[in-house]
Amino acid sequence: MPRMVILDGNSLANRAFYALPPLTTADGRPTNVLHGFLTMLFRLEQEQHPDYWVVAFDKTKATVRIEQYAGYKAQRKETPEGLRPQFDYLKEILTEMDVPMLELAGYEADDLIAAITKQAEAQGMEIQIYTGDKDALQLISPRTTVFLTKKGISEVEPYDETALWERYQLRPHQIIDLKGLMGDTSDNIPGVPGIGEKTALKLLWEFETVEGVLANVDKVSGKKVQSNLKEYTDQAILSKKLATMLTEVPIGFSCDDFVHRRSIAAKVLPVLQKYDLKSVTRLWQERHKDDEEIPGGSPEEVLENWPERVLTEEEWLMQIEQWQSKNIPLTLACRYEGTGLQGGRWLEWGVAAQGETFTLIREEASEKVCEAWLQLMGSERVPKTLADSKTVALLLANEGISLKRSVLDLSLASYLIQSSRPKFAPLDLVKEYFPTQPAFRNVAEEAAALAQVAPKFEKEIHFLGLARLLHEVEEPLSLVLAQVERHGIGIDSEQLKVFGEGISLTLRELEQEIYALAEETFNINSPKQLGTILFEKLGLPTAKKTKTGYSTDAETLEELRNAHPVVAKILDYRQLNKLMSTYVNGLLAQAKEGRIHTTFQQTVTTTGRLSSTEPNLQNIPIRLEQGRQLRKVFHPTEPGWVLLSADYSQIELRILAHYSQDPLLCESFSLGQDVHTRTAAEVFGISLNEVTSDMRRSAKAVNFGLVYGLTEFGLSRDLGIPRKESKFYIEQYFKRYGGVKRYLEDVVTQAKKEGQVRTLLNRLRRIPELLHSNRVKRQFGERIAMNTPVQGTAADIMKLAMLKVAEGLAPYRAAMLLQVHDELLLQVAPEDLEKVAHMLKDKMENAFTLSVPMTVECKVGTNWYDMQPFKPID
């Protein structure tokens, strides 16, 4: 269970101030609070290992409570002279330590603590609250323990429900009643005059709550107490209200906000030194003695630690020779013009090596130096650390050099560590460890900064067991992808234009017909305007709604197809318009010299898949014939060559079979059966030859759903059947395929325990959603837990296959053109077709050994539309 530690900054600082002698810096600034607070902080960090932590502070001025009761805290002493500045010092230090802090105008630390506790409880965390304020005892629960400071500050006493009972014989919720009766002078909660702790406890043991006491006031023993209770009834109720911590504070936090990070020496030590905190420094160093020292942080420091050396031509040549001959590891940064892919041309290289940095400027360097430099880049033996090796490989390819031995790609490393991060540019990577790093002023500084964080990434990669995936899969794959992107696929722009003209014509006709049927012109592409026409003007029945209005998606319109003749026209229009804008126009804009080059994104998806952009060639139409025609314009770049495709058959279900070891599912694949037909036979309890095409369709939907984290809703929507029916299918399925059921349950249980899932190649995905307080989001987390190992393993296997295929292609006249998740598209000279197809099928089927066979189906054609099955001879 993840542990959240919450500290009451104000309360603890106050305790420390009064508990410790008045320590100061050499120049007289008070520091005793810093000593006390940090000593306690380090101690709890070491003993409790929080996964999340946060320090809450009051943001005084007009608090919400002052509106409730004018006297509240009116008598609280002014913050003493020696304490006030220490809050600023403390916040400065905590900032450098990367300890999250929270304060909110108008609220006290108390209320923030209550609100955080409530949320953390809902997310299934264990909570520890550190404070000197007994009010917090009201938050105790089976998951929440309150640590009250004892005597000084560095010693604390834990209170859980049992401890609270032993001490007061009260339940946590009665703490506010206690305060309601006895009051609290420090907070100026009035309570009831004449009632102190002892009387209050006695009353509560008997009558449980303030309300209980007041209702039974006549039974209360003690005349004075009784009369005071009667006289100050309202004050008692108000006091209880004042003592109640507000949980309805407008804060929302995500786990990431409060995640516990190890602090960094380069940031922490200087600030501790600034306040002469010698013993605290020793404590910190003791605790972090295993961390390697990373110097620097600010740009000045980076360059100070990696001073830049300016070289003459002679010196450059010698330096390069030295790096080359001694295989010196280099960390690189690059500036270039154009894009990596098209017309990309390097302008400057920043190099960090052996504690020095260098800048190579194309405009200033001699040809000889550039030549030697490029040789070095192509050298097998010189290890290189960089961010985004694919782009660098493309830039070098433009110079006729192939990048060799990129030992560490920090972008890919960071992606494997946390696939959900939005960006992996050099600055983002450096900011992981130096959050205050501003934009790099030059390439040398960038290289130096990368060199400083590289060991951190390497350590983390090893710690998480991702080294092989990084070095043996992702990094080499980036170089293969660079080749694939650079090669591009052939595209016939003329044919595409003709295709577009045909579509345009139909589109214009449809447009007029739609206007006529609607009896007005409007923007068909605007869901808003379309909704108005359909649901208001024409009065069609509304079914689904979106955030902003009526839904007009294809599913909704399909329902209304027969309700009005315009609907079918709109559906047609939509389809053709999509083809026109996204595909015809989109692709034409990207086509150059008869080719089109996509960019594969290797650090985007959370599952490990690739994605494809500008243009996306992984979503070229195929399902509907009209769109499928578009594939005719894709062809080999070499005349006479053919396209060769190979796709994994049912790879995700095979992986599910492998993971679950379900006997029926495994058998189905071992026997080479049609898995959907077999599933139908099992679910409907009939023999294989009795399965109708409708039954097979249903079974297919079930199989698909399984991989996504099956839901009744999803299946019923997909098949257009009632929920009851989909529920029945699912029940029947799990009755027959108990192994699958067990596996899916186990993977979710495991994921909840660990907060993450892994693929067969150890790829990791963290699933914070599993801890979300919102049930819908939590269930989403559960489906992610079911889907990611399957989808991610399929991605892993395809990546392995691509590496092997790329290697296997070397002797042949052939090239890899595209990857579409479970399909590879190649082009081959006809004379090599048989051998390449054989190699391709073999490498893909044997890329990784599962407990069920993998099968790959090849097709051949002169364009991407006319693809015919092709079975290589064994």
Q: Which residues within the stretch 598-627 sit at the binding site for DNA (CB under 7 A)?
A: 601, 604-607, 609, 611-616, 618-624, 627
Alpha carbons within 13 angstroms on the beta-carbon side of residue 184 total 22
**What does the angle CA 247 – CA 252 – CA 258 come to, to the nearest 5 degrees?**
105
Name the minimum Å distance from CB 149 to DNA. Answer: 42
Alpha carbons within 13 angstroms on the beta-carbon side of residue 611 total 9
Residues 429-458, mask of contacts with DNA (x by CB under 7 A): ------------------------------
Task: Decide: is 715 part of the binding site for DNA (CB under 7 A).
Answer: yes
CB 425 within 8 A of CB 306: no
Residues 270-289 that bind DNA (CB under 7 A): none
Coil, strand or helix: which one is 773?
coil
Name the minimum Å distance from CB 861 to DNA. Answer: 15
Take residue 100 and report the two structure tokens written for it. Answer: 């999250």
Which letter, b or e, does each residue of 636-661 get, where b requires 16 or more Cβ atoms within 10 Å of its Cβ? bbeeebbbbbbbbebbbbbbbbbbbe
Question: Which residue, 289 or 623, has its beta carbon nearer to DNA?
Answer: 623
Name the minimum Å distance from CB 718 to DNA. Answer: 4
Question: Which residue, 153 or 785, has its beta carbon nearer to DNA?
Answer: 785
Kindly list the distances between the CA atom of residue 498 and the CA atoms of 243, 447, 501, 588, in Å, as whole numbers in the listed order.
Answer: 77, 50, 5, 11
Q: Cα–Cα distance between 104 and 249 in angstroms, integer?
A: 9
Question: Which residue, 188 or 616, has its beta carbon nearer to DNA?
Answer: 616
Name the minimum Å distance from CB 544 to DNA. Answer: 8
Q: What's the distance, CA 835 to chain centroid? A: 42
Name the minimum Å distance from CB 806 to DNA. Answer: 20
For residue 259, which phi and psi values (nearest 5 degrees)? -65, 140
Residues 349-378 that bind DNA (CB under 7 A): none
Q: Which range binds DNA by CB under 7 A, 31-39, 99-107, 205-213, 704-712?
A: 704-712
Name the minimum Å distance from CB 606 to DNA. Answer: 4
Take residue 165 and report the two structure tokens written for it. Answer: 């009972």
Residues 753-782 that bind DNA (CB under 7 A): 775-776, 779-780
Question: Which residue, 157 or 694, has its beta carbon nearer to DNA?
Answer: 694
Residues 124-163, mask of contacts with DNA (x by CB under 7 A): ----------------------------------------
Q: Cα–Cα distance between 689 and 123 in angstroms, integer?
A: 50
Question: Which residue, 356 or 718, has its beta carbon nearer to DNA?
Answer: 718
Q: Cα–Cα distance between 200 and 210 in angstroms, integer?
A: 9
Q: Cα–Cα distance between 18 and 79 in angstroms, integer?
A: 12
Residues 631-660 that bind DNA (CB under 7 A): 647
Name the minimum Å distance from CB 655 to DNA. Answer: 13
Residues 814-843 that bind DNA (CB under 7 A): 820-823
Residues 528-587 that bind DNA (CB under 7 A): 528-529, 546-549, 551-555, 557, 574-575, 578, 581-582, 585-586
Name the minimum Å distance from CB 637 to DNA. Answer: 21
Kindly list the distances between the CA atom of residue 393 and the CA atoms of 486, 494, 696, in Å, as whole numbers in the listed order.
Answer: 10, 32, 47
Take residue 864 and report the two structure tokens written for it. Answer: 């991407």
Question: Which residue, 312 or 523, has its beta carbon nearer to DNA?
Answer: 523
Of the residues 523, 562, 687, 689, which one makes contact with DNA according to CB under 7 A: 523
Which letter, b or e, does each residue of 283-292 get, where b requires 16 or more Cβ atoms within 10 Å of its Cβ? bbeeebeeee
Residues 653-692 that bind DNA (CB under 7 A): none
Question: Which residue, 708 or 728, has its beta carbon nearer to DNA?
Answer: 708
Question: Which residue, 205 or 713, has its beta carbon nearer to DNA?
Answer: 713
Of the residues 526, 670, 749, 851, which one makes contact with DNA according to CB under 7 A: 526
Of the residues 100, 172, 500, 709, which one makes contact with DNA according to CB under 7 A: 709
CB 870 within 8 A of CB 656: no
Name the minimum Å distance from CB 566 to DNA. Answer: 14
Burial of 423 (0-12, 13-18, 19+ CB in 10 A): exposed
Q: Where are the alpha helices (DSSP H) in 131-277?
A: 161-168, 175-182, 197-207, 210-215, 223-231, 233-243, 265-274
Task: Decide: is 325 part of the binding site for DNA (CB under 7 A).
Answer: no
Name the minimum Å distance from CB 399 to DNA. Answer: 27
Name the minimum Å distance from CB 231 to DNA. Answer: 46
Question: Which residue, 33 or 854, has its beta carbon nearer to DNA?
Answer: 854
Q: Where are the alpha helices (DSSP H) in 774-832?
A: 775-809
Question: Which residue, 89 or 729, has its beta carbon nearer to DNA?
Answer: 729
Burial of 612 (0-12, 13-18, 19+ CB in 10 A): buried
Name the minimum Å distance from CB 788 to DNA. Answer: 7
CB 652 within 8 A of CB 791: yes
Question: Which residue, 106 or 527, has its beta carbon nearer to DNA?
Answer: 527
Name the minimum Å distance from CB 769 to DNA. Answer: 9
Question: Which residue, 103 or 857, has its beta carbon nearer to DNA?
Answer: 857
Name the minimum Å distance from CB 557 to DNA. Answer: 7
Take residue 166 and report the two structure tokens written for it. Answer: 């032993």
Name the minimum Å distance from CB 626 to DNA. Answer: 9
Take residue 353 and report the two structure tokens written for it. Answer: 């090596």
Question: Which residue, 605 or 756, has its beta carbon nearer to DNA?
Answer: 605
Strand 356-361 with 384-386, pairing? unpaired
Of the residues 704, 728, 812, 865, which one makes contact with DNA according to CB under 7 A: 704
Count Cβ atoms below 10 Å from residue 737 Cβ, excluding itself. Answer: 25
Residues 163-182 that bind DNA (CB under 7 A): none
Q: How many residues belong to the site for DNA (CB under 7 A)?
A: 71
Name the minimum Å distance from CB 821 to DNA. Answer: 4
Q: Which range binds DNA by CB under 7 A, 11-19, 187-195, 235-243, 703-711?
A: 703-711
Closest CA to 476 of 799, 158, 54, 88: 799
Residues 778-807 that bind DNA (CB under 7 A): 779-780, 783-784, 787-788, 791
Name the minimum Å distance from CB 624 to DNA. Answer: 6
Strand 642-648 with 489-491, pairing? unpaired
Burial of 722 (0-12, 13-18, 19+ CB in 10 A): exposed
Would you put residue 850 in left (φ > 0), alpha (ψ -120 to 50) or beta? beta
Question: Which residue, 169 or 546, has its beta carbon nearer to DNA?
Answer: 546
Q: Cα–Cα distance between 806 and 99 in angstroms, integer?
A: 47
Residues 482-521, mask of contacts with DNA (x by CB under 7 A): ----------------------------------------
Name the minimum Å distance from CB 817 to DNA. Answer: 15
Question: Which residue, 62 or 589, has its beta carbon nearer to DNA?
Answer: 589
Residues 28-87 that bind DNA (CB under 7 A): none
Question: Which residue, 253 or 780, has its beta carbon nearer to DNA?
Answer: 780
The 3-class SS string of 607-659 reads CCCCEEECCCCCCCCCCCHHHHHHHHHEECCCCCCEEEEEEECCHHHHHHHHH
**What does the angle CA 743 – CA 744 – CA 749 come to, to the nearest 5 degrees?**
95
Q: Cα–Cα distance between 452 and 459 in angstroms, integer?
A: 12
Question: Which residue, 361 or 554, has its beta carbon nearer to DNA?
Answer: 554
Question: Which residue, 223 or 623, has its beta carbon nearer to DNA?
Answer: 623
Task: Decide: is 701 part of the binding site for DNA (CB under 7 A).
Answer: yes
